[in-house]
Chains A and B, each alone.
Chain A
Amino acid sequence: MSALGYYPGCSQSGTAAEYDISTRACCKALGVTLTDVPDWTCCGSTPAHTVDHHLAAALSARNLRQAEAAGLSRVATPCPSCLAALKTADHHLADAPFRAEVERLLGGPAPGPVKSVSTLQVLFEEIGPEAVKNAVKRPLVGLRVAPYYGCLLSRPPGLMAFDDPENPVSMDALLTACGAEVVDFAHKTECCGAAFGMPRLDVMTRLSARILQAALDAGADCIAVACPLCQMNLDLRQGQVDAVTGRASRMPVPYFTQLMALALGLPEAEICLDKLVLPLGPALATAAARAREAAAAKAAKEAAKNAAKAAAKAAAKPTAPAKAEKEASCA
Chain B
Amino acid sequence: MQTLDLESSRDTAFMDAVAEESGQDLKSCYQCGNCTAGCVYTHDYDLPVHQVMRLVQTGQKDQVLACRSIWLCATCQACTTRCPNNIEVATVMDVLRHMARRGGFAPEKLVKTFADGFLASVARHGRVFEAGLAMAFALRSGKPMQDAALGPAMLSRGKLSFAPHEPSSRAKTEVAGIFQRFHAGRPAAPQAATTDGGATEDKP
* Min C-beta distance of A286 to chain B, whole Å: 23
- Is B130 interfacial (CB-CB < 8 Å)? yes
Q: Which of B125-177 contact A (CB under 8 A)?
A: 126-128, 130-131, 134, 137, 141, 146-147, 149-150, 153-154, 157-161, 165, 167-168, 170-172, 174-175, 177
Given contacts A51-B101, A199-B111, A199-B113, contact A151 B118 (CB under 8 A): no
Kindly identify which residue among A49, A104, A156 contacts B81, using a CB–CB cutoff of 8 Å: A156
Contacting residues, chain B, for A44 (C-beta < 8 A)? 119, 122
Contacting residues, chain A, for B114 (C-beta < 8 A)? 47, 195, 198-199
| A194 close to B74 (CB less than 8 A) | yes
| B161 close to A198 (CB less than 8 A) | no
Contacting residues, chain A, for B181 (C-beta < 8 A)? 104-105, 107
Complex Cα distance, B170 from A304, in Å, reads 74
Q: Which of A48-89 contact B (CB under 8 A)?
A: 48-55, 58-59, 62
Contacting residues, chain B, for A15 (C-beta < 8 A)? 130, 154, 159-160
Contacting residues, chain B, for A197 (C-beta < 8 A)? 147
- Is B98 interfacial (CB-CB < 8 Å)? yes
- Is B115 interfacial (CB-CB < 8 Å)? yes
Q: How large is the interface on B (under 10, 10 to 19, 20 to 34, 35 or more residues)?
A: 35 or more
Complex Cα distance, B127 from A48, in Å, reads 13
Residue of A nearest to B161 (CB): A14
| B72 close to A236 (CB less than 8 A) | no
| A165 close to B81 (CB less than 8 A) | yes
- Is B30 interfacial (CB-CB < 8 Å)? no
| A42 close to B175 (CB less than 8 A) | yes
Kindly identify which residue among A14, A51, A55, A240 contacts B130, using a CB–CB cutoff of 8 Å: A14
Residue of B nearest to A44 (CB): B122
| A151 close to B74 (CB less than 8 A) | yes
For the complex of A and B, 10 pairs with smallest distance between CB atoms = A151-B76, A191-B76, A199-B110, A47-B115, A155-B77, A194-B74, A47-B118, A10-B128, A13-B165, A199-B114
